[in-house]
């Protein structure tokens, strides 16, 4: 029986597209829902074009009522009955209470070599630190922001003329490769480390 995968996005959804395209043939999982907190997210149209059910729950009307937004989110996910939830460019911070309800089922991709550079602006921070390498990590989602067990990483060398934009662009294809590889293993309960090199 295939594992049911829901993917949460906020924007372009390039990681979501890569995950959906990977779940074919003998892959142990299939996408059942793409959900965005932004009804205008470009990724929603891409998911529809790939025949995956979509849903948008606009977080803006909830204002500071994070619990109200998450109650709606939980209701929608409960209906989709996912075995795995992939956060893929999802830009809302989830509360520990919400995460607890899906404990052990949520993955996220973060554009840094965790535990370095949790949070935002990771490419600029790696450049500012004068790092020689950068990368991305797929990790299990826990109450600690970007702090869960890392399941895989991809590394790239930082070039002398790199900018945050060139780093992000060079890293994105590796994110796609890494996330798909980790999901395929995670779906059969294999949590051994995945390493992707440029």
CA distance 56 to 190: 31
- Are 15 and 47 contacting, i.e. CB atoms less than 8 angstroms apart? no
Contact segment (CB under 6 A) with ligand GRF among 10-18, 50-58, 64-72, 158-166 equals 10-18
166 lies in the binding site for ligand GRF (CB under 6 A): no
Considering the complex, what minimum distance in angstroms separates the CB of residue 179 from ligand GRF?
A: 9
- Catalytic residue, chosen from 59, 110, 123, 176, is 110
Active site residue 139: no
- Are 23 and 99 contacting, i.e. CB atoms less than 8 angstroms apart? no
Q: Which is nearer to ligand GRF, 14 or 177 (CB)?
A: 14
> Considering only residues 99-138, where is the footprint of ligand GRF by CB under 6 A?
109, 111, 136
89 lies in the binding site for ligand GRF (CB under 6 A): yes
Contact segment (CB under 6 A) with ligand GRF among 98-106, 154-162, 168-176, 182-190 equals 168-176
Q: Which is nearer to ligand GRF, 50 or 67 (CB)?
A: 50
CA distance 90 to 33: 14
Whose CB is nearest to ligand GRF? 89
28 lies in the binding site for ligand GRF (CB under 6 A): no
Contact segment (CB under 6 A) with ligand GRF among 5-13, 45-53, 78-86, 155-163 equals 5-13
CA distance 140 to 155: 19
Tell me the catalytic residues. Answer: 110
Contact residues for ligand GRF, defined by CB under 6 A: 9, 11-16, 88-89, 109, 111, 136, 168, 172, 175
């Amino acid at each position: 029986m295939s594992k049911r995968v829901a993917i949460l996005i906020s924007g372009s959804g390039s990681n979501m597209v890569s995950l959906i395209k990977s779940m074919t043939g003998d892959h142990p999982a299939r996408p059942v829902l793409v959900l965005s907190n932004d009804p205008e997210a470009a990724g929603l149209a891409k998911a529809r074009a790939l025949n995956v059910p979509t849903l948008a729950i606009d977080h803006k009307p909830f204002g500071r009522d994070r619990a109200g937004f998450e109650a709606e989110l939980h209701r929608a996910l409960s209906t989709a009955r996912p075995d795995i939830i992939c956060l893929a460019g999802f830009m809302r911070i989830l509360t520990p209470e919400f995460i607890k309800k899906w404990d052990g089922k949520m993955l996220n991709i973060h554009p840094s070599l965790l535990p370095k550079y949790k949070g935002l602006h990771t490419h600029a921070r790696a450049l500012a630190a004068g790092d020689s390498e950068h990368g991305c990590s797929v990790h299990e989602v826990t109450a600690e922001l970007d702090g869960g067990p890392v399941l895989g990483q991809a590394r790239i060398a930082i070039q002398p003329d790199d900018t945050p934009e060139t780093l992000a662009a060079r890293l994105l294809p590796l994110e796609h490769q890494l996330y798909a590889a980790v999901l395929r293993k995670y779906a059969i309960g294999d949590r051994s480390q995945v390493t992707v090199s440029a």
